[in-house]
Structure 1
């Protein structure tokens, strides 16, 4: 089986005390942040501008926002980094730093620069279901997430 045809292994990891850094605050970053706040108590967002939704999460104590441009030093002590900026060079730099320092990284704009992928997530209490189509069929993954959500009587997130 080729790497392209090989499905991804589902792995559930405790990140509750891990330092997670999201660089960027756009649409994709916000989706990742919304997901991550339920799984870690140490989530930092680095972006020069953020929207009211993220400011509200900070006021609730769920995230820390550093309103600034990314600098390499910002991720040196991270355990997990999400590169979700709209700047290719910045995302590339984040990826390089993480690889050199052994930090788990996900570059949202480049499937080949991800140590892990975000599944579609459906939660009900302590039940967590992750769905992926191995990056090949987002529509199928979304439809499956919706069907599982219906089974669990959960509203869309």
Structure 2
């Protein structure tokens, strides 16, 4: 049986992530990590202007040097993003078995690949072609962006707040499920008064036998 990727969202908060390389590819990888809460270390003799700005602002730790195995000893996640394939392979070889390594130019021999991402607040949609065509993954993401537009950001905040309220205040499992199902109706997505409508729905369902 052909091995397949296991899709997963990683919680990197407080974990060391090392990006080896200081070019445009490395910059893109770093920007994708900025809001994860990870401790980001970039190893490279030089940086792009964008990465240099992040280093100056102490958003990343810059080790201004060529890569050595010691740079990744504490890393949970490692991204080899130099413009030299042999250098990227060297990074992979230096990693321990328990460390996850991605080589930007060699997805077939990486432990993980980063998908194309669409983010609308709490809504996170990822698209991957398992390395076959990153360009197609981006095209599909762009198509999805037209369907799941900016209004989903506020809608997800509404759903989150409602869900917490329902879980904390409704004991009846049937009524709980009725409410959780009702609030994903498109009418709530497109409403400017969804909070008031939820209050009415909540009162109606709780007073129904």
Which stretches of structure 1, 4 residues or longer, exceed 6 Å deviation after superposition? none
Instruction: Give the deviation of 1:122 after TM superposition.
Output: 1.1
Q: Who is 1:116 aligned against?
A: 112
Give the direction of change, closer, same or farther, for the CA distance of 1:134–1:71 in structure 2 (3 Å limit).
same
Q: Who is 1:143 aligned against?
A: 139
Higher RCO (CA 8 Å, separation ≥ 6 residues) = 1
Matches within 5 A, 1:71-82: 71-82=68-79
The question of whether the paired residues in 2 share the 8 Å contact of 1:83 and 1:107 is answered with yes
Partner Cα separation in structure 2 for residue 14 and residue 149 of structure 1:
24
Q: Who is 2:169 aligned against?
A: none
SS at match of 2:2: coil
Please, what TM-score do these two structures have when normalized by structure 2?
0.66
Which sits farther off after the overlay, 138-147 or 13-22?
138-147
Aligned length in residues: 150
Matches within 5 A, 1:93-112: 93-98=90-95, 100-112=96-108
The question of whether the paired residues in 2 share the 8 Å contact of 1:120 and 1:145 is answered with yes
Structure 1 residue 70 corresponds to structure 2 residue 63: no
Aligned residues: CA RMSD: 1.7
Structure 1 residue 11 corresponds to structure 2 residue 3: no
Give the direction of change, closer, same or farther, for the CA distance of 1:76–1:101 in structure 2 (3 Å limit).
farther
Give the direction of change, closer, same or farther, for the CA distance of 1:78–1:88 in structure 2 (3 Å limit).
same
Instruction: Give the deviation of 1:13 after TM superposition.
Output: 1.2
The question of whether the paired residues in 1 share the 8 Å contact of 2:80 and 2:102 is answered with yes
Partner Cα separation in structure 2 for residue 53 and residue 151 of structure 1:
31
Q: Who is 1:131 aligned against?
A: 127
Instruction: Give the deviation of 1:101 after TM superposition.
Output: 4.7
Matches within 5 A, 1:48-67: 48-67=45-64
Query: Structure 2: 5+ residue runs without aligned partners?
Result: 151-209
SS at match of 1:61: coil
* Larger gyration radius, structure 1 or structure 2: 2
The question of whether the paired residues in 2 share the 8 Å contact of 1:95 and 1:113 is answered with no
Query: Structure 1: 5+ residue runs without aligned partners?
Result: none
Structure 1 residue 87 corresponds to structure 2 residue 79: no
Q: Who is 1:152 aligned against?
A: 148
Q: Who is 2:21 aligned against?
A: 24
Please, what TM-score do these two structures have when normalized by structure 1?
0.86
